[in-house]
Amino acid sequence: MKNVLVNLEHISKSYDGQMVLDDLNLYIRENEFLTLLGPSGCGKTTTLRILGGFETPDKGRVVFEGADITNLPPNKRQLNTVFQKYALFTHMNIAENIAFGLKIKNKSKAYIDDKIKYALKLVNLDGFEKRMPNSLSGGQQQRIAIARAIVNEPKLLLLDEPLGALDLKLRQDMQYELIRLKNELGITFIYVTHDQEEALTMSDTIVVMNQGYIQQIGTPERIYNEPENAFVADFIGESNIIGATMIEDRLVEILGARFACVDEGFGRNKPVDVVIRPEDVELTKNPADGTIQGVVSHVIFKGVHYEMEVQANGFEWLVHSTGMFPVGTNVGIKVDPFNIQIMNKPESEDEEAVGVNE
């Protein structure tokens, strides 16, 4: 297990009486790519700004390599930020932009020139030294913003939705670039986004947040396959979330039909939520082969797969499949026990927000 680089301990923050973060605890390991994922207003950007030193938490401590840096100003922290709208200095050329941090630290001219060359090579923009920021495309400006941050050799790089303003193709290219950069530089990345696909592609660890609380922390596979509550399941990818009853260990009753599953320890006859991913729902040609029976009500061709909606026992099942059944077909629905994810049912809205912190 790698060393812990940053520790956020019991962080609370509110603006004008509005609670943004409530007793948040999180640690980040060295050389980890950690993503804070959540809808707008979930507290992810505030968490990043507290790390960067632009906000001071009302309560709690930020510990960086064992030292308390809660009240250290941003210019004294060994970390750098890549801002959402690039924040390049428009009156300086690219070389001057990249040299900014190094000049402040009074590095020698030879050292600075070397670093500029190295950084531009790293982000694939050799020869851009004399260009002005406004003459660059959005993707290029973003690369310069990253170059400007990493020449300072930070231990931790904070990225605030850096790809939000780019178009889809460019965004996908930049995702691979970021993974490559992280591996080449060996620094820790903390990445903020509301885009679940971005989070799943790049992260070592994803922290799903909602309303100031951490909902779940885990690897992308774990977050996707075993969401701990309905919020996480719904936010990450598409899913069928159905109210159900846990009859006993490894047996759950969904919409009146009994399904085998692999979860244990929820008790007997306990109300729960189940999550079934659309690609895990199997349709059978012969309705009798399925656990429950339904009628296809909607079909859309999505390229990689067909997206179908199946009416069965009063619920509209979302199904992704490469095989197509025309609208009106009677089908059976089967789900592999391994693909049924059982979650505790929240009893109130408050509890829903608190999730795993409870």
Binding positions for other proteins, rule: CB under 8 A = 52-54, 73-75, 80-81, 83-85, 87-91, 93, 100-101, 104-105, 132, 134-135, 148-149, 152
Provide the Cα torsion 224, 225, 229, 231; round to 10°: 30
- Which CB, 27 or 100, lies closer to other proteins? 100
If the CB atoms of residues 75 and 108 are measured against other proteins, the closer one turns out to be 75
- 188: β partners: 156
The nearest distance, CB 55 to other proteins, in angstroms, is: 11
Q: Which is nearer to other proteins, 105 or 258 (CB)?
A: 105
Nearest distance, CB of residue 158 and other proteins, angstroms? 9
CB nearer to other proteins: give 48 or 202. Answer: 48
Return the number of the residue (69 or 217) whose C-beta is nearest other proteins: 69
* CA–CA distance, 104 with 87 (Å, rounded to integer): 18
Could you tell me the two tokens for 282?
Answer: 């199997």
Minimum CB separation of residue 148 from other proteins in Å reads 7
291-317 burial: b if 16+ Cβ within 10 Å, else e: bbbbebeeeeeeeebbbbbbebeebeb
CB of 12 to other proteins, least distance (A): 22
User: CA 190, 51, 184 angle in degrees (round to 5)?
Assistant: 35
Compute the least distance from the CB of residue 199 to other proteins, in Å.
Answer: 22
Q: How far is CA 173 from CA 158, 178, 186, 201, 358, in A?
A: 19, 9, 20, 12, 39
- Give the residue with the Cβ less far from other proteins, 27 or 83: 83
Alpha-carbon distance values, 92 to 95, 132, 345 (Å): 8, 7, 55
Minimum CB separation of residue 54 from other proteins in Å reads: 6
Report the C-alpha gap between 219 and 204 in whole angstroms: 6
Cα 317 to Cα 101, 110, 112, 139, 298, distances in angstroms: 54, 64, 59, 39, 10
Radius of gyration of the chain (CA): 24
CB of 105 to other proteins, least distance (A): 6
Cα gap 135→137, rounded to integer Å: 7
Smaller CB separation from other proteins, 149 or 163 = 149
Nearer to other proteins, 89 or 118 (CB): 89
**Shortest CB 80 distance to other proteins, Å:** 6
Cβ proximity of 166 and 138 under 8 Å: yes
CB of 94 to other proteins, least distance (A): 12
DSSP H or E segment with residue 203: none
Residue number with CB closer to other proteins (3 or 106): 106
SS (H, E, C) 107-164: CCHHHHHHHHHHHHHHCCCCCCCCCCHHHCCHHHHHHHHHHHHHCCCCCEEEEECCCC
Q: Return the closest-CA partner of residue 39 out of 225, 239, 278, 236.
A: 236
